[in-house]
Copies of this chain bind each other. A is one copy, B any other.
Amino acid sequence: MAPARRTHDARQTLEHLLREAAANEKVIGFAGGLPSEKLFPRSRLARAFVRAMARAGAPGLQYGWAEGSVGLRAFFAERLGRRGAQVTADDVIVTSGAQQAIAIALQLAAPRGGRVALDDDTYPALLDLLRARGLRPVSTLDAAPCAYAMPAIANPCGHGASPSRRRDLLDSGAFVVEDDAYADLHFAGPPPPPLLAQARERVFHVGTLSKILCPGLRIGWLVPPPIFRERALALKQGADLQASSLGQAVVEDYLSGSGVRRASSSLAGNGRLDFDARLVRLRTFYRRRAETLAQAIACHLPSWRFAFPEGGFAIWASTEERLDEAGFLAAAVEEGVSFDPGSQFRADSRDGRPTALRLCFSSVNPVKVDEGMRRLARAFRRAVRRGAATPRS
């Protein structure tokens, strides 16, 4: 069987196992990178929806312009401005999540068949996109016309880029797709300046409300370099006409504050303060969950290595043991626990790096974390025993 086909089949096997695990309520799920539903502001969103329905013309149900709501674009621009980027509402395009923003940015920044420089471990859906577009992932910035990076907080490792890595990205001359999805979940506080602030002409800046509000809204944004703005908007329109009017209307109302305060507030006023307070709560919430998981890993899987994350949703852990990844995941699901297999985050699985996995603490009830790691340790012991007999593929 050809390597590409084998890799494809291996991915299918993992996907099948992960879907099975997600559908089984008895499985303690550390896979998927979901935000905690406990942080979804359901009541406030419901009130926002009812008010949005009552607006003249019901813009939340009607068609809108491709670039998205001016209120949201101003809100995103203002937040970037506070981090040092010179951006106005006109520079921002509301997208159907960060994924669409990345897809558009790559279409403009990376010539078909060209090289895209990546971290060794990176966002799985980015790798899918590169495969679909015939783009070649490379680990060096040399001669790559385009780089993808998550400088604030990277997925899956949970750490920000070092000052030297940031400098290399800026000095490389490449277009940089800056995925800022987890920036506001830096446990230590507000996010660092985006690369956008230092290289407006070469950075495609990508953001999203998926991690800090709700993913189901599908609201992200793209700030392309000014000379690409018109083409980016045309690609956005060609892709799906516009982001969900419903999502935009609900978020816009939500951000403008509750109905009581509405008369005296705006997206740049009380809504902003509320949202900043929300982010402070989120950072504390997820940092505590990270600590709980880190303790449980240290207790039940002492041979696994990881660096405590600076932010985000997950701990990226690795082991020197040779494991059959699909066998390990299957054993884990049998034991009643799931994780994201490390190969999903890697462009190339045939290189002898340690077996790794991503454990998402974000959406697991903390009282189940210890039991989850206990189950994972059992699956790990089973996989190690089998590992001696099964060659790693």
Contacts and interface: CB of A to CB of B under 8 A. Distances in A.
Contacts of A243: 218
Contacts of A43: 53
A32 B269 CA distance: 34
Given A37-B62, A64-B216, A244 B247 contact: yes
A235 B125 CA distance: 11
A226 interface: no
A240 to B, nearest CB: 4
Interface residues of A, number: 55
Contacts of A155: none
A61 interface: yes
A216 B62 CA distance: 5
A35 to B, nearest CB: 8
A96 interface: yes
A247 B60 CA distance: 11
A387 interface: no
Contacts of A77: none
Interface string A124-137: 01001100100000
A155 B361 CA distance: 49
A218 B237 contact: no
B238 A216 contact: no
Interface stretch (A44-52, A82-90, A289-297): A44-52
Contacts of A161: none
Interface stretch (A97-105, A186-194, A325-333): A97-105
Contacts of A53: 42-43, 45-46
A234 interface: yes
A74 interface: no
Contacts of A238: 99, 103, 125, 128-129, 132
Interface in A182-206: none
A34 interface: yes
Contact of A97 (B45, B103, B215, B240): B240
A181 to B, nearest CB: 12
A42 B58 contact: yes
B246 A217 contact: yes
Given A35-B62, A40-B61, A216-B249, 6 more contacts: A37-B58, A62-B216, A215-B245, A218-B243, A218-B244, A246-B247
